A and B are shown apart, each in its own frame.
Chain A
């Protein structure tokens, strides 16, 4: 057992746990943040994507000790008060989900993608999100949502 301190969605957290537990399970089981999903346990589907110090990581293969002293953002940390993050709004407006289980990971992957490429080309969207699986195979709609989100961000600037 170890005491792991990190910041989650702007709040300080202190978790006493086995340091080898996946960050995903600590977020879900200890902190009640079930928006982050398990999909494969091997970093192949990206449903478990969270931002660790702003960079996307697969929380299913990230031991919680790796979060020590760092900041984590999950899907629950994106909306501000009642206002959706522009990327969430774009996914909603575009209807870029069917079952929606991949959606939280997909949205956090898009946060990172648009950070790197505020006006992504189609090829950059494909490369940026290729690690994310959507078994409902809604990729076309998701690409449209990413383009829409880039537009919303441009409007804001």
Chain B
């Protein structure tokens, strides 16, 4: 990739010329000047502002949120903001787009950069007009006084601004408080929406380069299998096909996907593999316990759990199971790679552009500056695309073929060779004291992780541990990590304790809660749902349940109603009321979509999703056999968003998923008298 000067860059970014900085900001400069205004914000001659971020857009709404933040601070219509994201040659490294981190970490950087720029522009106007800032009006990208006005582009020409531009954005820059927001806090459809409805947006799998070939990779028959021998001949003989072997990597590039698949199929027929024995999902939970690490990672430890249990009036224990599930983003992994001598450019869908650049650089012995990763807005991730497998495969094929190569994973490849949400085995033992309050809590999570592992309830004696295991499947991040498993187990078991205590599940929780934010969402959801009245009047064949939780500095509570088919034992969720609070709301329209999306996505692992595997591969890795939520599964949905303008905004794409599975499990008990201690819930 040739070095693009700033002028070309802005032409590529859709018009508008950079006027403040004329030299390109190199990798080294960007690193050295981390936090400098010039790495984050550009003022165009056309009055448009460009915001640069290493975060990526994968449907969660970061692009629009960051643009709204800049528009707010610059007192501009949001349409005058251009976003450049996930482009390693141009943007600061903002880390992985994960862990609900864009809102608490990147969003303040953009707000401060934009507010700093506004301050500089205002100061330039003060010099121009020769009057104090209080008499100037900043509006619509211009500063006006006495019927005259200067646009930002004119003001930005001042040498003072050029000097200030290279300096770090002060950490104490004053930003507009939420109570005064004009742009933020208003519902806003995402800015790239038009390209989505016309089909003109180019997702990673839509990228086409001149002379591009389509790649296909030979996959092993099972996990851990190694290639003994293979004959590339049958594939190479086909017209236009380039075949490559590099260790265990075998793949073909061809003029069409169809031809590439045919070539790989022909080669596959000659391949001899050495396989290794792999466990099956039938024995998953025994396997995890047998392969547990000796090193437990401690969580919340209070008092003495032994003493608490010994003194308890009543002791109870239960085991919970959560299987592997898959993210199954609708766009499978995809990448296009193009070499120009020893420079590599890759377009791919990943949440982690700089880490993918690093892994490509290492794989090909290049310095990272010679690798350019560009991440277009891609078709969903949910924590499942933190890696760059397709990018690496495309780069290997492109290097061999001497042409750009696209690699588009099939759904079956995505289900088999991407990673999974970790399975969890959770054991809990707890005690109730004479006052029917929880006095001891012993909680251990095998394999899935420590997210939201601590209990939010006031319990004097607790021991909380996460024990990593040797996972039989490749596992990794998934929307809110282990918080779903930990919350499911804790909230389902809390219901069992409430029942043993003879208390209403809502009252029992409130009696143990000090966290006022959780209390607020719990009460909001219960009230809207009509929890107390509905507990009194029973509906035959139906049950109600609730659950709450906190993670990523946000809080959630859900009430739901289920109907259980007496014949099949399968529950159907008919209604969900969920209350969510994540501080000051930046974009209520997007937040509602995220919360609704979490609830409905969460129905999948709660009711049906489970990766089954045998012989080292999934046996249900297709949408035909791995049933994800559809229109028919949609319950009556009621989402309550609590806006807390006095709190800093927190991320919201994950936590709203944690309450739904335990709320359903608890409702199923209410309907049937049977406890569901495993996901997916079956009675």
Task: List the interface of chain A (C-beta within 8 A of B).
Answer: 17-18, 20-22, 25, 28-30, 32, 34-42, 44-45, 47, 74-76, 78-79, 84, 88-89, 91-95, 97-104, 107, 125-126, 129-143
Q: B61 contacts A84, CB within 8 Å?
A: no
CB distance from B348 to the nearest CB of A (A): 15
A60 and chain B: residue at smallest CB distance = B411
Q: A100 contacts B59, CB within 8 Å?
A: yes
B623 CB within 8 Å of chain A: yes
Residue in contact with B593 in the complex, picked from A78, A125, A141, CB distance below 8 Å: A141
Interface-located stretch among B91-99, B139-147, B377-385, B397-405: B377-385
In angstroms, Cα B44 to Cα A13, docked, is: 42
List 8 contacting pairs A-B, 8 Å CB cutoff, sorted by A: A25-B258, A37-B331, A98-B61, A101-B59, A130-B631, A132-B631, A135-B380, A137-B629
B262 and chain A: residue at smallest CB distance = A18
B517 CB within 8 Å of chain A: no
In angstroms, Cα B330 to Cα A62, docked, is: 19
Residue in contact with A102 in the complex, picked from B193, B330, B412, CB distance below 8 Å: B330
Q: B256 contacts A88, CB within 8 Å?
A: no
Residues in B159-215 with C-beta less than 8 Å from chain A: 189-190, 192-194, 196-203, 205-206, 208, 214
Q: B624 contacts A84, CB within 8 Å?
A: no
Residue in contact with A38 in the complex, picked from B408, B601, B624, CB distance below 8 Å: B408
Q: A41 contacts B596, CB within 8 Å?
A: no
In angstroms, Cα B408 to Cα A40, docked, is: 12
Other than the given A74-B199, A99-B58, 12 more pairs (CB < 8 A) read: A40-B622, A41-B411, A95-B189, A97-B193, A99-B59, A99-B329, A100-B59, A100-B379, A130-B630, A135-B628, A138-B596, A141-B593
Binary A-proximity of B323-339 (CB < 8 A = 1, otherwise 0): 00001111110000000
Interface of B, secondary structure class, is loop
Q: Which has the most chain A C-beta neighbours within 10 Å: B330, B331, B600, B628?
A: B330
Task: List the interface of chain B (C-beta within 8 A of A).
Answer: 58-61, 189-190, 192-194, 196-203, 205-206, 208, 214, 256-258, 327-332, 377-380, 382, 408, 410-412, 589-590, 593-594, 596-601, 622-624, 628-632, 634, 637
Q: Which residues of A contact B630 (CB under 8 A)?
A: 130-131, 133, 139
Q: Which has the most chain B C-beta neighbours within 10 Å: A22, A74, A79?
A: A79
In angstroms, Cα B600 to Cα A130, docked, is: 14
CB distance from A86 to the nearest CB of B (A): 11
Residue in contact with B189 in the complex, picked from A37, A75, A92, CB distance below 8 Å: A92
Q: Which residues of B contact A103 (CB under 8 A)?
A: 196-197, 199
Q: B330 contacts A135, CB within 8 Å?
A: yes
Q: B199 contacts A32, CB within 8 Å?
A: no
Q: Which residues of A contact B193 (CB under 8 A)?
A: 91-92, 95, 97, 100
In angstroms, Cα B58 to Cα A22, docked, is: 27
Q: Which residues of B contact A125 (CB under 8 A)?
A: 631
Residue in contact with B257 in the complex, picked from A29, A39, A133, CB distance below 8 Å: A29
In angstroms, Cα B589 to Cα A120, docked, is: 25
A128 and chain B: residue at smallest CB distance = B631
Q: A34 contacts B198, CB within 8 Å?
A: no
CB distance from A123 to the nearest CB of B (A): 10
Q: A37 contacts B632, CB within 8 Å?
A: no
Q: B331 contacts A101, CB within 8 Å?
A: yes
Given contacts A35-B199, A40-B622, A136-B59, contact A25 B632 (CB under 8 A): no
Q: B632 contacts A126, CB within 8 Å?
A: yes
Q: A136 contacts B601, CB within 8 Å?
A: yes
